[in-house]
Amino acid sequence: MSPTVRIVLIGTGVIVFFASILSTYYYGKSQYGNLLRLEQRDGLDLKQRHDRLRERHEGVQNSLAQFERQLQVDKSAYEELSKELELSNRQLSDLRSELKFYRSIISPEGSPRGARVQDFKIYPGKDVSRFVFKLVLIQPMQDSKELSGKLGFEIRGTQGEETAVIKNPMPDVARVPVRFKFFQNVNGEFVLPAGFAPSEVRVNLKVGKKNVLDQKKWWQWSEVTVATLNQ
């Protein structure tokens, strides 16, 4: 092979070699540009989706906060209405009790004539053996004569293993003086002996030598005792 042909072949090979290198470089650059554009587009899509999700999350958070505030308002309103309803029920109960009380005085239809105990409660005192009593004595308007007498108690129970009856256990006076025409509130206290377990109590009201209350009326101790002293 002549030198000229050899040179031509070598030159052609070199040209083809560098052409393939350049072709590969520009092809890779083109592909890289395409991939970069795809990644940028995907990144933009992801950012837009992220922004939309963040906006939705903020909207849900705001709705939740509004719901919680509304729930708190509704809860406060419900509690306020419950308190008002409870107060109204207590006032209604008090009015009914007052109506029943005055009706028993003014128009005691079906009720026995004469003096009687309208209400009777026993509360704990300053120590375990001391008790406070509150009761209301009434008589209907038909029995308009003023009553003047003394009130006392009989308390049945057990002392140790023995049945016992305590009469007039008030520490300062044997009996409480009362004087009323239609009704009277009577308050005081009494003391029971240590170890005495009460089971029943009866109220006595003597006018002269006569006891004017129903002597068959015994209250169960648990029926008239109240856990705390109402002011």
pLDDT tens digit string along 82-139?
Answer: 888 888 788 777 667 666 655 665 555 555 667 888 889 999 988 888 899 999 988 8
Closest CA to 227 of 122, 120, 129, 90: 122
Phi first, then psi, for residue 57 (nearest 5°) are -65, -45
For 29, how many CA atoms within 13 A lie in the half-sphere containing its CB?
A: 6
Q: What is each CA distance from 13 to 16, 21, 83, 145, 180, in whole angstroms?
A: 5, 12, 102, 147, 140
The residue ranges of the chain whose pLDDT is under 70 are: 1-2, 5, 7-11, 14, 16-19, 22, 25-29, 31-34, 36, 94-95, 97-113, 143-144, 171-174, 228-231
Tell me, what's the pLDDT at 27? 66
Q: What is the CATH number of domain 116-224?
A: 2.60.40.10
Using CB atoms within 10 A of its CB, is residue 176 exposed (0-12), middle (13-18) or buried (19+)? buried
Query: 3-state DSSP call for residue 116?
Result: strand
3-state secondary structure of 67: helix
Domain regions of the chain by residue span:
116-224
Q: What is the pLDDT of residue 231?
A: 44
